[in-house]
């Protein structure tokens, strides 16, 4: 599997993404600067976390209009897998690859901790190595992770299996108290209509080594390698 990791001014999780991808695939991903207008031929584009453009205006709003994003959108339209993590989720949502928007956390505080997630749909290259309903632990670190979309769209996302991950309690039960940011329907991550694009606030790339505390993020990268090699 060949991958590209996009780097914006203010990105800060690109190294973690590179390490996770390289560990799973054995191939070093390309780092692509946001001002570039061309992408190498890759099977996966990862838009990493951080604070692109200092979160000015809205998180991800400026980066969504960076020159490279035109190419990212064109590749996504061709079915190339796109994974947006944290600020990357905000960027690809602002760019229109996913529905809805990410707003300020409901409690107005930056949250940095490990959360429990339930895998809602395993029919994708991102989630194929998990069991449906499996509870995984990934860390979160964000101030603007409050996913919002209108009630109709939430229903549609649910009905069509486009919710990828939900925040749950340690037993896997829905409980808004365990939702770190107030997102609608406790949504932590969503797919596009073809499940070739995934955006999520938690960091699977920071749960891939025993030193991270757990390796629940590893199956995501292994699944991608298996599907895209």
Partner 1 sequence: MKAKVHVTLKRGVLDPQGKAIAHALHTLGFNGVEDVRAGKFIEVELKSTDEASARKELDAMCTKLLANTVIEDYSIELVA
CA 8, 142, 123, 169: dihedral to nearest 10 degrees?
170
- Choice between 95 and 125, CB closer to partner 1: 95
Concatenate the DSSP letters of all residues of 121-187 into one string. Answer: ---STTTTTSPTT-EEEEEEEES--EEE--HHHHHHHHHTT-EEEEEE-TTS---GGG-SS--GGGE
Catalytic residue, from 14, 71, 94, 205: name it: 205
Residues in contact with partner 1 by the rule CB under 8 A? 57-58, 61-62, 65, 94, 99-101, 103-108, 148-149, 182
| β-pairing verdict for 187-191 and 197-200 | antiparallel
- Choice between 78 and 151, CB closer to partner 1: 151
> What's the distance, CA 20 to chain centroid?
14
Q: Is 203 a catalytic residue?
A: yes
- Choice between 29 and 199, CB closer to partner 1: 199
Smallest separation, CB 95 to partner 1 (Å): 11
Q: Is 30 a catalytic residue?
A: no
Smallest separation, CB 107 to partner 1 (Å): 7
Smallest separation, CB 179 to partner 1 (Å): 13
Q: Is 86 a catalytic residue?
A: yes
Catalytic residues: 86, 203, 205
């Amino acid at each position: 599997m060949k991958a590209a990791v996009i780097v914006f001014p203010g990105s800060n999780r690109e190294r973690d993404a590179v390490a996770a991808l390289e560990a799973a695939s054995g191939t070093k991903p390309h780092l692509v600067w946001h001002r570039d207008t061309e992408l190498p031929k890759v099977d996966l584009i990862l838009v990493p976390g951080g604070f692109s453009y200092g979160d000015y205006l809205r998180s991800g709003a400026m980066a969504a209009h960076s020159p490279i994003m035109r190419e990212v959108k064109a590749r996504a339209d061709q079915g190339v897998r796109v994974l947006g993590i944290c600020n990357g989720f905000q960027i690809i949502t602002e760019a229109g690859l996913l529905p809805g928007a990410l707003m300020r956390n409901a409690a107005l505080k930056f949250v940095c901790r490990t959360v429990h997630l339930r895998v809602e749909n395993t029919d994708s290259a991102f989630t194929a190595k998990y069991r449906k309903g499996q509870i995984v632990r990934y860390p979160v670190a964000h101030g603007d992770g409050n996913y919002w979309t209108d009630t109709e769209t939430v229903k549609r996302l649910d009905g069509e299996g486009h919710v990828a991950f939900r925040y749950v309690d340690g037993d896997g039960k829905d409980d808004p108290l365990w939702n770190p940011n107030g997102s609608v329907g406790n949504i932590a991550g969503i797919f596009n209509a073809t499940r070739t694009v995934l955006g999520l606030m938690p960091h699977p790339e920071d749960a891939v080594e025993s030193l991270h505390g757990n390796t629940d993020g590893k199956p995501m990268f292994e699944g991608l390698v298996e599907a895209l090699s």
